[in-house]
Structure 1
């Protein structure tokens, strides 16, 4: 039975429904799958708790081990979902990480963070940073996670994320740039259709004011109370005076041709170059594709091309 309109305080379709009695109903992205040996890829995964008191956890992946002494690049991945839905344990992210770990031959840590509306931003940023620091502790302090200690190379670390996770990835790299990560070397960052935005429309945003208004609402729902709203540096890097201190020298931005946030990815690459930052940023555009197409249609040619490009990026930039 559909809920009565009188019972609903707010709807942000297709993500979430908030009821007047405080109940929150997520409308998608709630399915989970267990870790283990993936029969299609041969990749192994397991779940670990990082800060149980905050329900902060992660799913770890290791590639096929043929040489026990071999060290692999380490990927720390941040899932998307508008800061509201999805998790590392959902089928779409579990399948993607299995494929990426196989293709790139990396160790991966897929981070779970608390989500809006129960936990609005900046909590997701703080949770994600706590996960990054937990990974670092396994290198610095002889931590207890064997997969990281045995198989991951602390000098070849990558951050990556899609959509809202791309936004989080950007924030994690900015924190690295402020000198807060001495125990690992951030070799590169992958921003897949990153959630960047702004008050004034640019590019294709001008052609779709309805979607522009929706994305405005999505951001304000996830991070309420900001004086500058969609022009806050949290979502509009152009407004961040510290952009030039971005914490790595190699960046890959992946955008989709039919995505409303496509031009924000291209614009980010331009403002990063002009910020005083010293490094290399490349943009890959998948023509004719929509937002996070690579997750929901992984067998299409553009998704295969993107998987290879991301894999090549991590292997090339991870070389000494």
Structure 2
């Protein structure tokens, strides 16, 4: 096969194959781990109808089983260079977030605040999963930032819009800290509340977008907190009309169409479609974003990600409407490449792009 005859789809298939081979020969990089088996279907009151990466199973009677273990089998790499702790940010729903900051301060410097909202198709994932924690270590160290990694309620037990509401509540929590009579010194002594960036990965990227639209440019409702920009990493958007990358993406992709479709079925409000306003930013009943003023947005996607076409269209439309939007695509990379292998060359390049974005809009 000549180089010129290799299609994008073939390149992505080759990339996926090498990723699988890499995980086989490097056990510490394996994607998934064995989880405790769920109770027999008879005990759950029905038969299994959906399985999400082995950590979430849905049964015909609507009952749900969740594993207590994460789906990613990677060790937590905590070398002490980053401090971290958990904080309850919404007591009624028992939602916590994890805070990170560099262990070695540089004089009296105040650090930007960088939210990292995890992915998982609105159905799985947690701030406590090792892949999330390792990436937050990297973010705190490389960006020299206070990183805030919140959890949110998951579907199908808690369908949209609850995850988006929880993401917004997590950002509002920062405002409550700065105006509190007794704020957390661990946070306020290090954080620059005038330099906040909201980043989301996959489903978290969707949440970040919806927070951006709700707050608008300048984030006036958060004063004295100031959001400067948003980073959308492979944002999880959808629509009833499939894009080319969704329809023609390889079935063995890390995030293939079968899994995308399952995540949406389990998370969209009952009776709605993938043109729901929280799912499709440009759907027939979605808010017209052209007149909406937004803070700067960085959109990132892998060239082999089935979500690529939607991410690119999102960035291009907003840019054509005069928004400050930058799109970065990483050739040959799968969905979530930056957390799967945070030390890879593309992941390190992405980290520098994020750092430059923060620097550019911190002034």
Distance in 2 between residues matched to 1:27 and 1:173, nearest whole Å: 32
Point out the more displaced range, 206-215 or 237-246.
206-215
User: Offset of 1:180 from its aligned partner?
Assistant: 3.3
Distance in 2 between residues matched to 1:76 and 1:300, nearest whole Å: 22
2:308 maps to 1:262: yes
Distance in 2 between residues matched to 1:270 and 1:125, nearest whole Å: 24
Q: Residue 308 of structure 1 aligns with which residue? A: 352
**CA deviations over 1:57-113 (Å, ceiling 9, x no partner):** 100011244345321111122100111111111110110000111101111111011
Point out the more displaced range, 18-27 or 153-162.
18-27
For the structure 1 residues 140 and 5, does the alpha-carbon distance in structure 2 shift closer, same or farther, using more than 3 Å as the test?
A: closer
User: Offset of 1:234 from its aligned partner?
Assistant: 0.6
TM-score of the two chains, using structure 2 as the length reference: 0.78
Q: Residue 246 of structure 2 aligns with which residue? A: 205
Q: 2:65 aligns with which of 24, 30, 36?
A: 24
Q: Residue 188 of structure 1 aligns with which residue? A: 229
Structure 1 unmatched runs, 5+: none
Contact 1:269 1:283 (C-alpha < 8 Å) held by counterparts:
yes
For the structure 1 residues 143 and 193, does the alpha-carbon distance in structure 2 shift closer, same or farther, using more than 3 Å as the test?
A: farther
SS of the equivalent of 2:221 reads coil
> Within 5 Å, which residues of 2 pair with 1:212-231?
212=257, 214-227=259-272, 229-231=273-275
> Within 5 Å, which residues of 2 pair with 1:1-320?
7-14=46-53, 16-19=56-59, 20=61, 22-26=63-67, 29=70, 38-39=78-79, 42-67=81-106, 69-177=108-216, 179-208=220-249, 211-212=256-257, 214-227=259-272, 229-239=273-283, 240-244=286-290, 248-274=294-320, 276=321, 278-318=322-362, 320=363
Point out the more displaced range, 193-202 or 176-185.
176-185
Contact 1:255 1:265 (C-alpha < 8 Å) held by counterparts:
yes
User: Offset of 1:55 from its aligned partner?
Assistant: 1.2
SS of the equivalent of 2:86 reads strand
Structure 2 unmatched runs, 5+: 1-36
Distance in 2 between residues matched to 1:42 and 1:209, nearest whole Å: 39
Point out the more displaced range, 171-180 or 24-33.
24-33
SS of the equivalent of 2:343 reads coil
User: Offset of 1:294 from its aligned partner?
Assistant: 1.0
Contact 1:12 1:218 (C-alpha < 8 Å) held by counterparts:
no
Equivalent pairs, count: 314
Query: Radius of gyration: which is bigger?
Result: 2
